[in-house]
Chain A
Amino acid sequence: MHADQKAAGEAGALTPRKAAALKAFEGLPHEPGVPKPDPILVVDKVIRRFGGLTAVNVDHLEIQRGSITALIGPNGAGKTTFFNQLTGFDTADSGTWTFNGKRMDGLPAHRVARAGMVRTFQLTKALSKLTVIENMRLGAQGQRGERFFQSLIPALWRRQEEEITRRAEALLERFKLAAKRDDFAGSLSGGQRKLLEMARALMVEPEMIMLDEPMAGVNPALTQSLLGHVKDLREQGMTVLFVEHDMDMVRDISDWVVVMAQGSVIAEGPPETIMSDERVIDAYLGAHHDAPLSVEEEEEQLHEAEAELEAEAGIAPEDGSAAGSDRVEENVKERAE
C-alpha cells in the first residue's frame, strides 16, 4: 500500500510526458472539435440513432497523441455508445474516423484492436473461469498456437508461449497481481478485476487505450493505485481516452477534458477550468436554472457579477490565448509543488 502511494505520488509529479502533453494543449481554444497539434484519433460526423433517439452525433473530435483525455458528461450523454462506435462494437449510422491516419469506420472490433486501439469495459469483463495468467496470455497478438492446425503441434508455439508468459508475469508484477497468478479470475475482487482487465489490454501492446469508467465499483483503497497505473500508461507513450464520472479523478489525471451531452461534444478544455464552463454547467444542471430567485440568491449573484466585471477589467488588455497559457503555467507550478 505504501509503495502504491509512492508510485502514485511520483506519477502525479510533472513528468516529461505530462509536460509534453500539457504543452500540446497550451493555448488551444476551448471549443468542441478544436484541432490538436498531433492527433492520433480524428473523428468526423459520427451519428448513431436508436429509432427516433440520436444517441451520438459528434461533428468533429481530435484526440492528442500521448495525452490522457477524459470524456465526461451527464448520464445518457452517449459516452459509452460513442466508445462502442469507435471500437467497432456497434455500427455507426454514418461518419468516419481515422486512427493513425487509417480509416477505422466499418472495421469489426477485433480489427480495431489489432490496429492498436484497445478498450476496456464499464462492467468488467474478466474471464472468470480462466486463471489470471490465462487471461493475460489471451491478450497477446499474433499467436501461432491460436491457429487451428498449428495449435496441434506444440513445438510450433511453445517458445512463443513462454515469451508471452514472461511478458504477462512482468505485467502482473507491475499491477500487483503476481500472487494471484494461478487463481481463477472470478475469485478476484472488483478492483483487482479492473487491474487485470487493464493489464490484459496492455498485453495487446496498444498505442491507444480506451477505458470505460475505470473507477466504477473500485474500493477506494485501490483507487490511488489504479490512478497511478493510468498515469503510467502515458509515461509509456500510450494515448489514453477514458470515460469517468468522478470529477476528482478527472482533475487528477487528465490533461484535457471533452464534455458530451445529448450525444454531442459541447465543450473541451483543461480539467481545471472545464467545470466552470457555462455550457458544461448547463449540460449538468439544465439550461433553465434561472428560475425565480430568492432575495439572498439575487444579492449573491449581484456580488458575483460585480466581482466578475472587476476581474475582466483587469484581464482585458491580454488576449485570450495568453490568458489560457498563464492558467496552464499556473497549474503546472501547482502540480510541481
Chain B
Amino acid sequence: MDWNTILVTTVEAAVGWETVVYALAAIGINIQFGYAGLLNFGQAAFLGVAAYGMAVTVATFHLPFWLGIVIGLVGTVLLALLLGIPTLRLRADYLAIATIAAAEIIRLIFRSVTFADVFGGSDGRQGFAGEFFAMNPYPRGEYGIGPFGFNERVMWVLTVGWILVGLALVLVYMLMKSPWGRVLKAIREDEDAVRSLGKNVFAYKMQALVLGGLIGCLGGFIFALSQASVQPDLFGTELTFYAYTIVILGGAARVFSPLVGAMIFWVLLVFVGNTLSEMVGAGLIPFMDANQVGPVRFMLVGLGLMLLLIFRPQGIFGDKREIALDAR
C-alpha cells in the first residue's frame, strides 16, 4: 500500500482542475436551484456550448482564441434564453424537462456524424489551447510544496480557474445580500406572492438562468483548456448531477457551499478510488479486481452522500431551522 501516493493525489484533487470545473458548474446551479428554485438539469450543456464554442472557433475555423471565448459566452446566453423563454412562465418542472432534453440533444449534435467536420464527432476537437498556454507566465518546471505539485501548464489553468471561482463567489455574495437576491429567494418560495408585490418574476428567473449558465460556462472553458481537448461525452448528464450533488452536499443557497462541496466530492472520490485500487493491488480485497474499482468507488461515495443527507439534510453550511420550516 502506497499511502504517500494516496495522500498526494487526494490533496491535489482538493485544488485540482476537477474541483475548479465542478465548483464553477455548481456555483451556477446554486444561483439557479439554490437561490431561485429553478431546476436546470442541463448545466452540462452550458459547459459544453462554451467549451465547443471556443474549441470550434479556434480549431475548425482558425479564428483568434479571444473570439472563441466571446462566442462561447454568447452561445451560453442564447441557450439560456432559448430554454427560458418558453418554459419560465410555466411550472418549475417544465424547465427541468426542457433542459435535460436540450442538454442531451446538444451532446448528440456535437457527436453526430453529420456535423463531424465542424464538431469533430465523438473524437471532439483538439489543438485550440495554444494561444491560452502561450500566455502562460510560469516558466517550465514543477511548482509545489513538498510532495504536492503541478507542472507549469496545470499551474496556469489552475491560476485562471481559481481566479474565476473567486470572482464568481464574490459576485454571488454581493448579489445575494442585495435586494436583487432577496427577490430571487422570494421567488424560490412563492412566485405568486412576489408577483402580487409588483415584481416581474419572469425577468428575474431569466436573469438567474442566464447568470447561472454563464458562471457554469466558465467551468466549460476551464474543462476544455485543462484537457486541451473537447469531447462530447465529457458533457453528459452525470456532470449536471454531480454539480447538483455538490450543491446539496455543501448546503443549497449558501455562498461557499458549491466550493466546499466540490472539494469534498472530489477528495472523497479520489481518496476512495485510490485507496481501493491500492488495496486491490496489494491483494487485501481478494474478491475485487482493478476494473471494479471505478464503479465501486461511486457506490461508496454515493452511500456516504446518502448518509449525509439522512443525518444532515441541510448540507454542511445549511441551516436546520430552514429545513424544519418546510415540514410545516
Contact = CB atoms under 8 A, between A and B. Distances in A.
Contacts, number: 103
Nearest to A115: B198
B199 A127 contact: no
Interface stretch (A148-156, A266-274, A311-319): A148-156
A197 B192 CA distance: 13
B138 interface: no
Dominant SS among interface residues on chain B = helix
Interface stretch (B96-104, B227-235, B320-328): B320-328
A325 to B, nearest CB: 38
Interface in A115-132: 118-121, 125-130
A128 to B, nearest CB: 5
A127 B193 contact: yes
B196 interface: yes
A186 B195 contact: no
B197 interface: yes
Interface residues of A, number: 41
A138 B194 contact: yes
A200 interface: yes
B189 A130 contact: yes
A208 interface: no
In which size bucket is the chain B interface?
20 to 34
A118 B197 contact: yes
Contacts of A139: 197
B182 A110 contact: no
Interface in B118-163: none
A111 B190 CA distance: 18
A192 interface: no
Interface in B175-218: 175, 178-183, 185-186, 188-190, 192-201, 207
Interface in B302-328: 321-322, 325, 328
A192 to B, nearest CB: 13
Contact of B198 (A120, A148, A152, A204): A204
Contacts of B198: 110-111, 113-114, 118, 141, 204
A129 B328 contact: no
A243 to B, nearest CB: 15
A291 B71 CA distance: 78
Contact of B196 (A119, A130, A141, A187): A119
A197 B325 CA distance: 18
Given A128-B189, A130-B185, A113 B197 contact: yes
A181 B177 CA distance: 18
A152 B197 contact: no
Interface string A151-192: 110100100010000000000000000000000101100000
B197 A157 contact: no
A109 interface: yes
B197 A138 contact: yes
A88 B200 CA distance: 12
A184 B189 contact: no
B81 to A, nearest CB: 15
Interface string B240-268: 00000000000000000000000000000
Contacts of A148: 175, 180, 207
B179 A145 contact: yes
A129 B196 contact: no
A119 B193 CA distance: 9
Interface of B: 171, 174-175, 178-183, 185-186, 188-190, 192-201, 207, 321-322, 325, 328
Give the 5 A-B CB pairs with smallest separation, nearest first. A145-B179, A151-B180, A186-B325, A151-B178, A125-B193
Given A118-B197, A145-B179, A148-B207, 4 more contacts: A147-B180, A152-B178, A186-B325, A201-B196
10 contacts: A89-B196, A113-B198, A118-B198, A125-B192, A129-B189, A134-B182, A138-B182, A138-B186, A151-B180, A203-B197
